Amino acid sequence: MCALNLKHSHPFIDGLRNPPEGKKKDVQKIKSWMMTQPHLPEVHEEFIYLFLHACHYVHERTKSAIETWFTIRAIHPNIFSNRDPMEPKMKNLIDMGYLLRLPKTTPEGYRVLMYAVRDPDPTKMNFNDVVKGFCMYNDCVLSEDGLQEGYVIIFDMKDVSIGHLARVSLPALKCFLWYIQDAHPARIKSIHVLNTATWIHHVMRLVVPLVRSELLNLVKFHKGGLPEKFPTELLPMDYGGEAPTVEELDRTTKALLDKYSSWLIESSLLVADESKRPKKGSWWGLFSSKSNQQVEIDEKNILKNLQID
């Protein structure tokens, strides 16, 4: 393992509150495995708790997620380095959208995260920076939430145009989807898309070949501005709920930037050292494409899903 000299506590800036009981042996087994991986950095046990929890304490899944998390950050520095949220370019990008962490959880105990567009001008969007900013924000959310039972994602397409689609970078999209599916240490329970655009089919034909059926099955499209069969009271006032307004919640999120600025910058050090990696099969195998038949099946299923609401 590679020793790092870090000033901050990672992945929880304030430390992990109430670590789960009876999981010390699981942590020790993963830690012992990490010590046999010379390319992985030496990290706090709280990192291992986070990944074990996200993977439901299945050891092989946990190892794979840890390996991928550090690897993807090493081979995609354009997304995972230079993570200063106060840099003018990044600050402007963050201000172009609404990032909402709703104060109340669902009856199942799931945290609800909402995303929407503030500035609808697609010419201002750099997709590579969007992915970078999104990953930075999600690192902060995980730090604030600790070991969360699960996440419900809501994305409002109201001010998204075909011009935004035209600015999507395929390499950045591949990186993002790889990260979300194989490395992001969170339990995603459902994804709701509100005010679904009529041209969503074009988006899905781009995404479907890169996404496994398990994640596609979590996506629900809604023609209107409210997710069906969802406790409305959890939503912001703007959506008919009891939570503070979108603007208020967004300001609360943006206030975290001061707290996490140097923490995010330092997190760029948390990468695999490829020069020390044992010689094995190529990691690009993880990007193997689906068969044409599987793409057709997934596309039919997801487009059928569009017609439900």
Segment 189-235, tens digit of pLDDT: 999 999 999 999 889 988 999 999 999 999 999 999 999 889 999 99
Confidence (pTM)? 0.89
Residue 283, pLDDT above cutoff 80: no
Residue 308 is predicted with a pLDDT of 45
Q: Which domains does the chain have, with CATH numbers?
A: 1-309 (3.40.525.10)
Residue 279 is predicted with a pLDDT of 78
Residue 292, pLDDT above cutoff 70: no
Residue 252, pLDDT above cutoff 70: yes
Q: Which amino acid makes up residue 62?
A: T
d(CA 270, CA 279) in angstroms, rounded, equals: 21
Chain position carrying tokens 């969170």: 186
Q: Is 109 exposed, middle or buried (0-12, 13-18, 19+ CB in 10 A)?
A: exposed
Higher per-residue pLDDT: 45 or 303 = 45
Residue 293 is predicted with a pLDDT of 53
Question: Over the range 221-243, which residues count as b (16 or more CB within 10 Å of their CB) and which as e?
Answer: bbeeeebeebeeebbbebbebeb
Mean pLDDT of 12-22: 93
